[in-house]
Chains A and B, each alone.
Chain A
């Protein structure tokens, strides 16, 4: 049953690549936004909060369409990035990573924000009295203590990015070898006669990758949790 065709291998590898890149790029931004939302009061905070969460509540097709308008080759942001950085999103795997990152961003930010809010801020006061400036205090106290939440957020982000379908297919279509992820490949296979066996193989792969990600994150979170509570 597990004789994957070259096309299926490409879809699997592409899915993992897109999900990893989406997570890696979303992570620093997610940490920054989560920290702002958890710690700072500023004008427009509710607006930022709303914008971050919008992909969670909008129909994915709408998000994909908005990305197409803004980040397409002729969109205001897409044209700018293409002309100055040579970064093209439309109908490329990079666009799929962007769509996946945007869709997964709320989950990432929520998890990290919660872990920032759970940190005893008196420890940051203690760090300040010991001579740590705010930046060093952030990297030596806040960030390590938030690590379990950051890992949980990364796994959620990765899993969401791996399974993203609606926004991706709207934005960058379903091109084998470029933008066809596991989800898109399964969708295609279910639309053609005799595709059931291949679709089932990819379904098993999707389950396996997602489960593996969950197990790895559980392991990391437990290890991090143990470090903070004694041993």
Chain B
């Protein structure tokens, strides 16, 4: 279970967000500027909240009163960034293996093969990131995050940089990921259609605050509001 209760001031913008998530895929849903990316950055440990507490299962990642702030490299939280952020100087294979090497995990060919098959990226291993299409790049980014064996997977607008056809290409892989692994995920998007096919819990953010928490029916209302 992920417990988030944080406050952070960024210039004039104040984020004050609290939620608990037990769901398999928790969607953080809201317009740009609602604090979605800042929230996942704080869960990942890339940005420190001013106050509050973040806990994952029985481990405390951040607690301002207890002065706990686990650095990002010790949180074991996978992060798929909007623009992939593959390392340009490493091959796809070395990118995929990076998390395992840095976390000091033993080589596991069975697990690697399973992830390559799940995401259909086995044929890309010898390439350089610069030679991948947008869809391939994001699949490799998901694979890289999975192979570090995370306790939680954060996905920040993983499809936003792709055109509609590429989005349709990747979504089935993410749904398979949800159904075939028990890995909890936090999925950030401002796109109701995208979330409808993957989210199990929806947390609506608005201006740095939590609006509503519910199921994917919240997305229908958002659709109506925008119409």
Contacts and interface: CB of A to CB of B under 8 A. Distances in A.
Given A128-B46, A131-B73, A145 B88 contact: yes
A87 B104 CA distance: 42
Interface string A170-193: 000000000000000000000000
A197 interface: no
Contact of B78 (A127, A129, A145): A129
Interface in B156-215: none
A136 B128 contact: no
A230 B89 contact: no
Contacts of A130: 73, 98-99, 102-103, 144-145, 148
Nearest to A231: B128
A120 B72 CA distance: 18
B51 interface: no
Contacts of A141: 87
Nearest to A133: B73
A122 interface: yes
Interface residues of B, number: 28
Is chain A's binding surface mostly helix, strand, loop or mixed?
A: helix
Contacts of A123: 85, 87-88
A128 B131 contact: no
Interface string B78-112: 11010001011100000000110011100000000
B49 to A, nearest CB: 16
A132 B102 contact: yes
Contacts of B145: 129-130
Contact of B85 (A126, A145, A229, A231): A126
B72 A228 contact: no
Contact of B148 (A120, A131, A134): A131
A228 B99 CA distance: 20
Given A125-B46, A129-B46, A230-B128, 18 more contacts: A120-B85, A126-B79, A127-B73, A127-B98, A128-B71, A129-B73, A130-B73, A130-B98, A130-B144, A131-B73, A132-B73, A132-B98, A132-B102, A133-B71, A140-B102, A141-B87, A228-B88, A228-B130
Interface of B: 44-46, 71-79, 81, 85, 87-89, 98-99, 102-104, 128, 130-131, 144-145, 148
22 contacts: A120-B85, A123-B85, A123-B87, A127-B98, A128-B73, A129-B44, A129-B45, A129-B78, A129-B79, A130-B102, A131-B73, A131-B102, A131-B148, A132-B73, A132-B102, A133-B71, A140-B98, A144-B89, A145-B89, A227-B128, A229-B130, A230-B131
